[in-house]
Amino acid sequence: MAATREQRLLRAFAALADTLVAGYDVVDMLQNLVDTCSDLLGASAAGVLLADGDGDLDLVVSTSEASRLVEVMQLSAYAGPCIDSYRFGRVVSVPDIRTSPSSWHDFTVRATEQGFLAIDAIPLRLRENTIGTLNLMRTQTGELSEDDMVAAQAFADVATISILHERSLARSNEVREQLQHALNSRVVIEQAKGVIAYKRSIGIEEAFELLRTYARNHQLGIAAVAKAVVEQKLEL
């Protein structure tokens, strides 16, 4: 019998909770998070932005190259729903991107070019400390359902607690090191995609999908698989 949506959500939360045990890797946890949101919450694409030690946001994980391009555009212009969500520590929902404020012009153009028409930006926040955003994009206009928003906020909360697990918020050096590790891992993933794309003469999107699929099928962390590809210990 196929699992109900509620059962799948419970299993997803259990999988995220497993990242609190030994061997936890922030990039793998966040990749699992965005993949889960894409699978269960009706998101056409999802991505996570994290702040570094200086408070600057950078993309750490995403479900597709299209979502990555939109996130990068937000960063380059430093204007968009994800930026506002991080700045003000609140959910920013845009049911129709085409009606976005004029100050988001570059984001609006790039998002619609990629086929995205709606977005919800959810802060990764613990008390007064916001460390990033979870961003859910859809190819159809409309608001995220109330139940899906509750689930998305819960996922974001679990991710935030995981990142800050066993670390006092006052110990900023340790938090900074962990976030920097996540950003460094993302660089390796980008390099691995380039290696795969070059060797197979395929696009970056397809290369990324090969990387993700291999990691999931072999129950390995995507960062570890990327590192093996870059170091020529694994060929995909």
Task: Please say whether the beta carbons of 143 and 42 come within 8 A.
Answer: no
Across 7-11, 34-38, 88-92, the highest mean pLDDT is recorded for 88-92
Is residue 69 predicted with pLDDT exceeding 90? no
Mean pLDDT of 124-140: 91
Q: How many CB atoms lie within 10 A of CB 218?
A: 11
Query: Over the chain, what is the mean pLDDT?
Result: 85
Domains of the chain: 5-170 (3.30.450.40)
pLDDT at 23: 56
Q: Which of 49, 31, 33 is nearest to 209 (CA)?
A: 31
Residues 18 and 160 sit within 8 Å (Cβ to Cβ): no
- Which pair of tokens denotes residue 168? 């006092």
Higher pLDDT, 46 or 15: 46
Which uninterrupted H or E stretch holds 119?
strand 118-126
**Which tens digits make up the pLDDT trace of 92-128?**
999 999 999 999 999 999 899 999 999 999 999 988 8
Question: Is pLDDT at 167 greater than 70 in this prediction?
Answer: no
In angstroms, the Cα distances linking 181 to 30, 125, 146 are 13, 19, 34
Q: Mean of the pLDDT values across residues 124-144? A: 92
The pLDDT of residue 20 = 58
User: Given a cut of 60, is residue 1 above it in pLDDT?
Assistant: no
The Cα 33–Cα 85 span in angstroms is 18
DSSP string, 122-178: EEEEETTEEEEEEEEEESS-SPPPHHHHHHHHHHHHHHHHHHTTT--TT-HHHHHHH
- Confidence grade of residue 170 (pLDDT, cut at 50, 70, 90): very low
Specify the pTM: 0.73
